[in-house]
Amino acid sequence: MSWLTFSRRYLLATAGAGTAWLLARAGESGLPAGEEPLGALCSDLGCPPSIGQACLEALPADEISKQSLARSILGDLGCQRGGCPPARVLACLARERSRNDFRDGRIVRVDGWMLSRTETRLYALTALSQAAGTKAG
């Protein structure tokens, strides 16, 4: 993947895609009950499949499942099972956590780009959810 492919604005997008299609399928994407806000957050990321796939490839194999990724992300964001805040709040927490990742060295190389561990997991989860949604659809 060239940097041009990867350098599109949507690499950094955190809102605006408005993929209601994904949002509607958040509940059917296989996330544990009570973690739907995370599905909504992923749907808002506007992450194209190519980036999500690259994030999946950059993460350790034992992290690559919706359940594992969701657990890791929510755990890092301080959510208890069934106790997640709304997606809007979750987005703020995720952004803050992402910046802290950079500060504390939790950085993942994705096709050479320096991404935070939190956003890498989110993009990866988005890709998995999208794939599940496609199958379901």
Partner 1 sequence: MHPGMILDAHSVPAGTVLETEVCIVGAGAAGITLAREFIASSFRVTLLESGGMNYEPDIQQLYAGRSIGQAFETLTTSRLRFFGGTTNHWGGWCLPLDPIDFAPRDHLPYHGWPFQRPYLDPWYRRAQAVCGLGPYDYRPSRWGIRPAEIPPPFAGPDFDPKILQVSSVHFGPAYASELRRAPRVSVYLHANAFNFRPDESHAAVGELAVKALSGNHFTVRARIYILAAGGIENARLLLASGRAGGNGLGNEHDLVGRFFMVHLTYSGGIIVPSHPRMRFDFRQEGSYTGFGGKHPFISFIGPTAAAMHRLELPNMFIDWSYKFSPVVHGVDALKRVIEGEPHGGHWLADLAKVVGSLEGVTDFGVRKVLFGEGIPIEAMAVNCASEQEPNPESRILLGSARDRLGMPEVTVDWQLAPEDKSKAAATLQLLGAEIGRAGFGRFRPALVEGGPWPSDFYGNEHQMGTTRMHRDPKLGVVDENCRLHTMSNLYIAGSSVFPTGGANNPTLTIVALALRLADHVKEVLT
Token reading at 110? 């994705």
Tell me the C-alpha distance between 94 and 73, whole Å. Answer: 8
Based on the shown chain and the rule CB under 8 A, indicate whether residue 11 belongs to the binding site for partner 1: yes
Contact residue for partner 1 among 35, 44, 76, 101 (CB under 8 A): 101
Stretch that binds partner 1, among 17-25, 28-36, 39-47, 112-120 (CB under 8 A): 112-120
Based on the shown chain and the rule CB under 8 A, indicate whether residue 112 belongs to the binding site for partner 1: yes
CB-based burial, 81-99: b 16+ in 10 Å, e otherwise: eeebeebeebbebbeebbe
Task: Using DSSP, state whether 116 is helix, strand or coil.
Answer: strand
Contact residue for partner 1 among 16, 21, 67, 109 (CB under 8 A): 109
Based on the shown chain and the rule CB under 8 A, indicate whether residue 58 belongs to the binding site for partner 1: no
The closest alpha carbon to 54, from 126, 106, 134, belongs to 126
Point out which residues bind partner 1 (CB under 8 A): 3, 6-7, 9, 11-12, 95, 98-103, 105, 107, 109, 111-116
